[in-house]
Structure 1
């Protein structure tokens, strides 16, 4: 794999991120929503660049020591290369994060396997959560206690 670079999102990335979102999500976020998130003081946006192209991104909120992961996407042309794993590992490595939460489609087996491999556990299910009626699994992660 070529060099993968993780960095913060900038306003210059908005058009590319919005286009990537449309390729990845059945109900994509709008550029306006991304722009609002960019100005949100608790929002954190990470972009994965590979050979100068945006290969993926992650949007989350950090409130205190808790992280709410809202959106993780990898360009279909770059999937199965560890990009989402690197993005998630980057935010979970922050020593100021003790706990993380996310929702995932119950049928998204690949994402569920990735989250489990990173230490996330299913904590609940929201029936019919998505627009198409699919359930959402609630998953959470806690920083391992070094004393255990």
Structure 2
């Protein structure tokens, strides 16, 4: 089940964040996004536990996928794909943007599967010479299920 995150979800979200990223978002960062009127956090709940999440920044007719992550034990179970399907089907007509580490081939493959195209690069964005690939998708209403 995919639903809007609540305050009680944040500890589990932060655990997933910490197991997947070298420079994870803090609890306070997620708390700010939870209560911001410009962002939404959706969680993928599986048998009562949070298996993944996605953070969106929503600006009029544009959406920035700011963060998406899946608990390590559920990676490879299509939870990332289901979160993307949910978001793209919910926000038809929006222009989507995201940035991804150039060395994160799993994520790049996922985004390309949904039609995202790279359009630019931010040099050394992640430090240590790791660039960010900027990707976008004009979500015109294709059914992603």
Distance 2:75 2:69 in 1: 9
- Counterpart of 2:106 in structure 1 is 110
The RMSD of aligned alpha carbons is: 1.4
Number of aligned residues: 142
Partners of 1:114 and 1:7 lie apart in 2 by 21
- Any stretches of 5+ residues in structure 1 without a counterpart? none
* TM-score, length basis structure 1: 0.91
Q: CA deviation at 1:39?
A: 1.0
In 1, Cα distance between equivalents of 2:54 and 2:105: 19
After TM superposition, give the deviation of residue 132 of structure 1 in Å.
3.1
Q: 1 CA distance for matches of 2:93 and 2:15? A: 30
TM-score normalised per structure 2: 0.93
* Residue pairs, 1:78-97, within 5 angstroms: 78-95=74-91, 97=93
Aligned-pair CA distance for 1:95: 4.3
Which 4+ stretches in 1 moved above 3 angstroms?
none
Which 5+ residue runs of structure 2 have no aligned equivalent?
A: none
Q: Is the 8 A contact 2:33 2:39 kept in 1?
A: yes
